[in-house]
Amino acid sequence: MPEGNIIHRIARIHRRWLLGRDFTADSPQGRFSEGARHLSGRALVSVDAHGKHLFHHFDGGVRLHIHLGLFGNLKHFRAGAASPSPTCRLRLSSPHATLHLSGPQACELLSPETEAELRARLGEDPLRPDASPSRAFTALRRGRTPLAVALLDQERISGVGNILRAEGLFLARLPPLRPASELRPAGFERLWEALRSLLEDAARDGRIVAPHAPPAPWEIPGRRREDRFSVYDRAGQPCPRCSTPISRRELASRALFFCPRCQKTPAAS
């Protein structure tokens, strides 16, 4: 599932390419035909991202909500758009830009009230200028669920997925299995800044490259850089800080990666 950096990057691309354009909308798959009729002929007036959710506002007060989920895919074409796939839920077409949306978890029109209710359920997003770290700290510390589980709860902090969880906790030197209620302000500040920095860099560059991550063996000078991680998906490989083998364990049906030495549980953090 795309993490918050990807959704914010998409929102930035759409603001640059699509704002102010009038679109013809249809649903090649047929599952969004009625919604497409409401969108067709309208201009896109704003695009916003909150965590893993994308919001497009069209003139006339029409609001489109997209959540890509596990299998969603957005394709963009400047000109000469390809034929839509059989799973294309929504096609937005204009003479200069076309968008194909396939396989989303959510593609729906919302009333202002329904959109407000949805946004109210979402946790603080480190990439949003209106984010409140203090509210995020309070939400994250609710209950004694492990910190690594709480971080994936989109009603606590929005936009964090499995990769950002692993890398953020490593950068903040926080034990992933510590109860969230035991998180201290200093540890949270390190975590919030690590997540914000990782998200911002990845939204800008299109790749997650964690500080301290070892070089990828396939990288070639001058080639577009690839994702590089310190702990995520590096089980058994040496920690870039202390050389201890990275651990992997299943937690709430998700793979968790961490350094058992750098992120061991101290008395307080």
Task: Give me the catalytic one of 9, 52, 63, 234.
Answer: 52
Q: How many residues belong to the chain? A: 269
Kindly calculate the radius of gyration of the chain based on its CA atoms and give it in whole angstroms. 20
Query: Is 141 among the catalytic positions?
Result: no
Q: Please tell me the distance from the alpha carbon of residue 147 to that of residue 93, in angstroms, as a whole number.
A: 44
Query: Is 52 among the catalytic positions?
Result: yes
Count the helices and strands in the chain (H runs, E runs).
7, 10
Residue type, 258: F
CA atoms within 13 A of residue 189's CA, in its CB half-sphere: 4
> Is residue 157 within 8 Å of 124, Cβ to Cβ?
yes
> Is residue 167 within 8 Å of 194, Cβ to Cβ?
yes
User: What tokens appear for 98 in the block?
Assistant: 């076309």
Query: Is 254 among the catalytic positions?
Result: yes
Q: Please tell me the distance from the alpha carbon of residue 89 to that of residue 72, in angstroms, as a whole number.
A: 10
Around Cβ 153, how many Cβ atoms within 10 Å? 17
Query: Is 113 among the catalytic positions?
Result: no
Q: Which residues are the active-site residues?
A: 2-3, 52, 254
